[in-house]
Chains A and B, each alone.
Chain A
Amino acid sequence: MNASDFVMGISGGAGEGVILTGDLMTQIAARSNLHISSTQTFPAEVRGGQSYVQIRFGVDNVFNPGDQLHVLVAFNNLAYHRYKQTVASDAILIVDGDPETTDRAKAFGDWRGGPIYVVPMTRIAKQDIGEVRSKNMVALGAVTAHLGFSEGHGERIVERFFSKKARKLIEPNLAGYRAGRAYVEKHVTKQDHLTIPEIRGEGYLVLSGNDAIALGALYAGCRFYGGYPITPASEIMQVLAEELPHVGGTMYQAEDEIASLGAVLGASFAGVRAMTATSGPGLSLMGELLGLSGIAEIPLVIVDVQRGGPSTGLPTKTEQSDLLPALYGGHGEFPRVVMAPISIRNCFAVMRQAFEVAETYQVPVVVLSEQGLGHRRATLSKSLLAQTPMARTARPLKTWEPTYNRYKVTDNGISPRALPEDPGGMHLITGLEHWDFGGPSHNPANRTEMVQKRFRKLRNLDRRYGGVFAFKGEDAAQHLHATTDEEAGRLSAAEESFRGQIGVIGWGANAGVVREAVARAERRGIDVSAVFPKMISPHNDLTIRPFIEGHQKIVVIEQNYIGQYARFLQRYYDFEPVRLNKYDGLPFTPNDVLRKIEEVASHV
């Protein structure tokens, strides 16, 4: 156990405030200048079943919520039994119960960890506070006191949270938090060495993947959001509902996903950067209008926070099974771009690229996030918000010649775009095949020319925006890209991570566990590196080819059954990857990946 990198699990009955405890815990850590990576699982129902939050704390940045627990906080016995197997040998247990009457040998005889602290959370909440629902705040106080977090950070965080709900809730919850701390300070003798280090700093932001998408959109100049509530994407809409009015933008909750996308296309047509976010079922409904965006060349950004499918599937669990629908969904053929952020920080950045690409190339861009990323939280430097320049999308009116044609055929396929209110730019956009001026056309030669014009827009797009994030050993992630064949040649000749025994390729949020598994494997003497594409489609051959050719064995990791990305890659390369797939709704852990790497290494 190491206070500079440890993992805490908090579990209790759904409705006991476990998720909230975890949220506040992450904020307290961020104020204490500790990094966190946290994940939560909760049943789809609001009450019933068990809730669970896992938080990893690090003095240095942590990129995933970890494996084994070093601290288990159990709100009840069921919680203890569910997570007791996943602990490290020196893990501490902080559990609700009566310290005088609890028979530790009987109740926790099968505990495999270290010291056990029985804290009367329910009793304090009931008897001292007079409000049993403040039990989670008692727990928060007890845990933060035990680990040595300063009292003041927690007080301010608890007060801020409840002042947003109702003033009368502040007092009992603050009292609970203080009572939890006081109990530990007075009655608990610390038998472990887990005390957080004092670190100086200005604190961190705590963002979920969904927060980061919303803020990324805001900074990217998005000023219209049309959406329909759906788990696990709704938080994007909720953040933008609060934030867009501050910048003159509009959040519009439509009657369904089709109307959401219709409104987004209308807004984009009218000259405003516009987006929607949804999950699998919504993406299915949006298929027809996705194609409209393609043929009518209306810029569009759709975020799909993937969940277990098909149909209603696993609404609160993670999966990466919408890659093929994102790449090929909708009828007919049209150019599109698919990106998948690899981290919470990247969620923020990817939105800027998505809006830029959508507007420059007048194409739909699908951003594939996933529940495991959308609901995960991480600490990020405050400079992310303080120093990222905001994209300004204002454009003055432009006067167009009488010969203006909306779909003018050009060398790069991109046609000048007049916006409503521009003098002389009046035109028709239509989902019918059309002449260059917008009028409907069935003419075979024109059809051929228009299809080619639209697809021409994708040419070289991957060279400008693509590339890979590469992971090797303990090194920080590197963004590798090449804009020309010569650059690509030099890159692949020089790049260490492009060759070796085992190469891991993944996409999306698994980068956080893969980078750790790769580093651990290398410490065990295995020659392994990994890449994640910055843009999935158009495919960036310049960086993926040398990686595949430079490794003896390629492992493709993804969270689906059929290996959607592996199949996609097999369209381009004649190779048989080892596949690491999972479709049980739970995210990969670093150990899952490490075991696979070791298994492959033993056969190479």
Chain B
Amino acid sequence: MSSPAKTAEKTSLTPADYKGRVKPIWCPGCGDFGVLNAITRSLAALGIEPRRLALASGIGCSSRIPGFVNCYGFHGAHGRALPVAVGIKLANPRLTVLALGGDGDGLSIGIGHFPHVARRNLDITYIMMDNRIYGLTKGQTSPTTLEGRRTKTSPAGALEQPLNPVELAVIFNATYVARGYSANLKELQDLITRGIQHRGFSMVHVLSPCVTFGKGSGFDYFGPRTKPLPDDHDPRDRQQALLRSAVEETIYTGVFYETERAEYVEQIQAIGSGVGRELDEDGPRIEVDRLIQRFS
């Protein structure tokens, strides 16, 4: 399901071309470094020019990422990465648009947007960096914190069932759903690349441990539990994707689900919308006579 338009503009870009003007402020060893690396490698491999790249994020450690990338970056409000990404893509469909944020941003305050963007199948890639904790605010329970885990706001252990973003994305009818691990750079780069190439809404869930507040869900936790999806996994099989996303003892990585469905911009362009930012004066004009007819 890769689109020729996206691979055609390949030039000789390297990951260094995507270095942003802001220096990462993450703690040394943070899982998000791996994600940043994987993203810039994917972009370079796909040859997406920085000027045609827009990154929209929410608030949180991982949401700082647009500043670290040479692109048109929008570091907005907590939980609102997806709505902003939608607006950018609809206003200029020529852009490659990534939405980025953490588990708190996307599954707590911003979860209301997730199903709706997924069901619209708008061609953006949502990368959710999941450390199972609120890191920027120094260690409170997040919506993916495991039950029973002690945090600053769950001193007796978390009482809630954690949410599973891969399972949710499949249920919300996202057309590309993958999970990667920030310590497995090669696989993650591949998953992100395929996600960007996918025509429609793609969601990449990344296990990205917090080395400072992530006790109990650090690299030592994920390392032994993370395994690629079995060879027999068929990404077109929605039931299988749901089953394997919910396995507890092993945390699978890879493409869980991929399907083809009409993409949102293509649909609105069919009725005339989605021209986006006009670059010359020859765009569509107001049909004055029809308007006068309509309103008289």
Contacts and interface: CB of A to CB of B under 8 A. Distances in A.
B75 interface: yes
Contacts of A296: 76
A263 B286 CA distance: 24
Nearest to A244: B273
B116 A267 contact: no
Nearest to B278: A394
Contacts of B42: none
A428 B87 contact: no
Contacts of B271: 245
Interface in B39-91: 50-52, 54, 56, 59, 64, 66-67, 70-77, 80, 82-91
B279 A270 contact: no
Interface stretch (B143-151, B157-165, B184-192, B288-296): B288-296
Interface in A229-268: 243-252, 254-256, 258-268
Contacts of B285: 247, 390
A246 B296 contact: no
B108 to A, nearest CB: 14
A27 B292 contact: no
Contact of A258 (B21, B64, B80, B287): B80
A269 B296 contact: no
A265 B296 contact: no
Contacts of B296: 27, 30-31, 203-206, 382
Contacts, number: 230
A331 B15 CA distance: 39
Interface string A387-423: 0001011111100000000000000000000011111
Contacts of A419: 277
Contact of B71 (A386, A393, A396, A426): A426
A427 B77 contact: no
Interface string B199-243: 000000000000000000000000000000000000000000000
A393 B91 CA distance: 13
B280 A396 contact: yes
21 contacts: A31-B296, A224-B91, A248-B272, A261-B83, A262-B76, A265-B74, A265-B87, A266-B88, A266-B89, A266-B91, A267-B90, A269-B87, A270-B91, A270-B92, A386-B288, A386-B292, A426-B71, A426-B73, A429-B75, A440-B64, A440-B67
A226 B273 CA distance: 13
Contacts of A432: 75
A155 interface: no
B113 A259 contact: yes
Interface string A337-351: 000000000000000
B154 to A, nearest CB: 26
B279 A262 contact: no
Contact of B276 (A251, A270, A385, A430): A270
Contacts of A267: 87-88, 90-91
Interface of A: 27, 30-31, 203-207, 211, 215, 218-219, 223-224, 226, 243-252, 254-256, 258-272, 274, 288-289, 292, 296, 382, 385-386, 390, 392-397, 419-432, 437-440
A223 B64 CA distance: 30
A259 B73 contact: no
Nearest to A202: B296
A455 B265 CA distance: 38
B295 A385 contact: yes
A264 B87 contact: yes
A471 to B, nearest CB: 27
B16 interface: no
B87 A426 contact: no
Contacts of A255: 112-113, 116
Contacts of A292: 76-77
Given A246-B287, A392-B283, A432-B75, 7 more contacts: A259-B83, A265-B76, A266-B91, A289-B77, A386-B292, A429-B74, A430-B73
B94 A439 contact: no
Contacts of A250: 90-91, 268, 273-274, 276
A266 B122 CA distance: 14
A263 B83 contact: yes
Contacts of A262: 76-77, 80, 82-84, 86-87, 113
B80 A429 contact: no
A425 B54 CA distance: 12
Contacts of A264: 87
* Residue among B51, B290, B291 with most chain A CB within 10 A: B51
Contacts of A439: 21-22, 67
Contacts of B112: 255-256, 258-259
A385 B281 CA distance: 20
A265 B287 CA distance: 28
Nearest to A271: B277
A397 B52 CA distance: 12
A23 B287 CA distance: 24
A289 B74 CA distance: 13
B87 A288 contact: no
Contact of B80 (A244, A289, A396): A289
A259 B278 contact: no
Contacts of A206: 295-296
B91 A246 contact: no
A259 B82 CA distance: 8
B13 interface: no
A385 B280 contact: no
A419 B279 CA distance: 11
Contacts of B64: 440
A420 B92 contact: yes
Interface string B86-117: 11111110110000000000000000110010
